[in-house]
Structure 1
Amino acid sequence: MAHGEDADLLAAQRSRFAALDPALPAAAPLPSSSHDTRVEALTAALPDGRRVTGGLVHASHPAGSAHRLWSAAEVWELLPLVGDTGGAGMDALLRVWAERMRAIGPPTTDSACLVSWPSRDAEATRALLDHGFAPLTTLAVRRAAPQPVPRVEPLVVRRARTADMDAMLQLTLAELRYSALVGAASLRENAVPLKRDALRKRLLDGDPVWVAERDGMTLGLADCAWTPVTEGSWAGSRLRPGRWGYINCASVLPGARGNGIGRRLMDVVHAEFARAGAFGTYLYYNPPNPLSSVFWPRQGYRPLWTLWEARPATALR
């Protein structure tokens, strides 16, 4: 497809995104291939003669890598550029992609096809469902706002310390086990050292990590970080520019759930992020998760992007 056609599609897609959801950043142009990432161009024609395009990127995560905790080992991701063609353009592009995947012959296990798309685009949702995709993950956002933090006696919420490592690891593994049942996560055999190393790095880097405890027992964890979002960056293709707080993992021990611990923990997290000047906070949750799909909207989060997956990759149709 000629550069001019790409530019027209990008302009139309930006207008469509702005109309769909004012919280979306401007639609990003398709990336170019680099020395470590090959972007394959796919093009499809609509019955009325219009053409749409997309970039296909393949990622292979080696055994033992942390990526395998939240991703299939082999992933083909499509970056659609369909302008204002809506569901018709998405359907046409997915048909071409399905043909391409049949030619590639992806593995039948531990593989996935992935599309990240604005959650409010119902027309694209219909096309993705029709082609075998499931909404396994949502990127949800919440605007920062100062608010009072109610006390829940005798619960104490404080910043995590190195001495909390064992309890933190127990909580993050509890979240991983549950997410592996209801979302895109996978409980790999090396999950324990990977999670421990990630938590240790968070603490060494001084990232905002909180624990909730009662009578000396750690019952909840909020593993968080800061994300500076700038235009042109990967994060800038998902969020508006600004300093965002990121909630990587929020977990309450199974036997302690339903007692307001998670709500109190997040009240503190949101207040601290707002006090430190966050534009907003964001996180990923799994729509099929019967706990997080209820909890996070109650905390003020709403879907911005949906990560659609066909697992295994051969499920794309």
Structure 2
Amino acid sequence: MTTAQELMDVQSARLATLDEALPSSYLLPHRGEPLMARLADGTEVAGLMAHTSHPPGSLQRLWSATENYELFPLLGEHPRAGMDALLDSWRRQLSQREITAADSSAVVTWPSRDVDATRALLDHGFAPLTCLAVRPAAPAKYTKLSGTVKTRRAGTDDLDAVVELALAELNYAALVGGSVLRGDAETLKRNAARVRLHTTGRTGSEPVWLAERDGEPIGLAECGWTDTETHPGQHRLASGRWGYVNCLSVREQERGTGIGSLLTALAHDEFARAGVVGSYLYYNPANPLSSVFWPRQGYRPLWTVWEMRPATALR
């Protein structure tokens, strides 16, 4: 009988050959329901399912279903057949639960370059709604903009402008990815922005930049920091301190003029000065803007978040 640790060791070694930027080990959540499956030749694969419920008023509901069922596969050296068998077993497991809410999702986050597993996920009806993309730490190259565009750090007096631009990004993202427009979206965004802006300018604070044309805010970059040593939840990144881009938003009439590139360059310069391992962000592969823009800024997919909504639709 193959143990979970043996499957994990073989899987980690195989994934390391596919992508050197992946962390050295594939970590499982502390709690979850075990799952087993057998291939045609009797080989065993396993997994762990974690269920998370996001109550009303939680910020996570803006990018996640309320009831989230996430599978953490242990496939050993059988990415396609193992994923296929495990998803069959997971479908049977979910069918035995009382999942009545339409606001639910089944999620598998898997290394983007493991295309054998990708085939099995597609065959079971999953959609690649989100990518976690990474960029090596390096200063940015600036492009001179035409017109009177200025950038600056946002402050507490800029709360309304920050919220407006952040909501514009959320509205667009909800059309092309996993984001969800909730009735309390503006309140949640405002509360989060108020906290972020209250600390901006302090050492170690999460930077927020605004781009302005003739004093009018036209672009926003909300950024921050993650240290994998103090934030164990960031187990999908290599060890060290990272910069991240939480939200980049440019007014529709200003898109394509270089505003987004300018704001991103500011973030990358600050990340580089801080000595980070690299920077990361999440974008939607189906987003016709992000899927072109972020690779041009040096980002490439590391993990793909595959989703099925509702969870009961898993086939």
Provide the residue aligned with 2:203 in structure 1: none
1:1-317 map, 5 Å: 5-33=3-31, 39-107=32-100, 109-153=102-146, 154-206=148-200, 207-230=206-229, 233-235=232-234, 237-317=235-315
| Distance in 2 separating the partners of 1:150 and 1:56 | 46
Per-residue Cα deviation, 1:219-246 (whole angstroms, up to 9, x for no partner): 00000111011399221x2000111001
Match of 2:197, SS state, is: helix
> Does the 8 Å CA contact 1:30/1:81 hold for their aligned counterparts?
no
Per-residue Cα deviation, 1:145-179 (whole angstroms, up to 9, x for no partner): 12443442521111111111111111000000001
> Does the 8 Å CA contact 1:17/1:27 hold for their aligned counterparts?
no
> Does the 8 Å CA contact 2:102/2:310 hold for their aligned counterparts?
yes
Question: Which amino acid is 2:227 matched to?
Answer: P
Please state how far the C-alpha of 1:32 moved relative to its aligned partner: 3.3
| Distance in 2 separating the partners of 1:240 and 1:264 | 27
Q: What fraction of aligned residue pairs are identical, expressed as a percent?
A: 56
| Distance in 2 separating the partners of 1:231 and 1:171 | 30
Match of 2:175, SS state, is: helix
| Distance in 2 separating the partners of 1:145 and 1:29 | 28
Please state how far the C-alpha of 1:108 moved relative to its aligned partner: 5.1
| Distance in 1 separating the partners of 2:155 and 2:45 | 51
| Distance in 2 separating the partners of 1:231 and 1:94 | 33
Q: Tell me: CA distance 1:159–1:123, structure 2 relative to 1, closer, same or farther (3 Å).
A: same
TM-score by length of 2: 0.94
> Does the 8 Å CA contact 1:108/1:313 hold for their aligned counterparts?
no
| Distance in 2 separating the partners of 1:117 and 1:284 | 14
> Does the 8 Å CA contact 2:29/2:50 hold for their aligned counterparts?
no
Question: Which 4+ runs in 1 deviate beyond 6 A?
Answer: none
| Distance in 2 separating the partners of 1:313 and 1:57 | 13
Q: Tell me: CA distance 1:180–1:294, structure 2 relative to 1, closer, same or farther (3 Å).
A: same
> Does the 8 Å CA contact 1:87/1:127 hold for their aligned counterparts?
yes
Number of aligned residue pairs: give it.
Answer: 309
| Distance in 1 separating the partners of 2:42 and 2:230 | 33
> Does the 8 Å CA contact 2:218/2:251 hold for their aligned counterparts?
yes
Match of 1:104, SS state, is: coil
Match of 2:285, SS state, is: coil
> Does the 8 Å CA contact 1:228/1:244 hold for their aligned counterparts?
yes
Question: Which amino acid is 1:216 matched to?
Answer: G
Per-residue Cα deviation, 1:122-152 (whole angstroms, up to 9, x for no partner): 0100000111100000000000112443442
> Does the 8 Å CA contact 1:155/1:213 hold for their aligned counterparts?
yes
| Distance in 2 separating the partners of 1:6 and 1:232 | 25
Per-residue Cα deviation, 1:249-307 (whole angstroms, up to 9, x for no partner): 00001111111111111111111211121211100000111111111011110000000
Match of 2:9, SS state, is: helix
| Distance in 1 separating the partners of 2:141 and 2:311 | 47
Question: Which amino acid is 1:223 matched to?
Answer: E
Provide the residue aligned with 1:36 in structure 2: none
Task: Decide which moves more: 56-65 or 68-77.
Answer: 56-65
| Distance in 1 separating the partners of 2:71 and 2:28 | 10
Question: Which amino acid is 2:176 matched to?
Answer: V
Stretches of structure 2 that go unaligned for 5 or more consecutive residues are 201-205
Question: Which amino acid is 1:79 matched to?
Answer: F
Match of 2:20, SS state, is: coil
Match of 1:293, SS state, is: helix
Stretches of structure 1 that go unaligned for 5 or more consecutive residues are 34-38
| Distance in 2 separating the partners of 1:232 and 1:304 | 19
Question: Which amino acid is 1:197 matched to?
Answer: N
| Distance in 1 separating the partners of 2:27 and 2:312 | 28
Question: Which amino acid is 1:18 matched to?
Answer: A
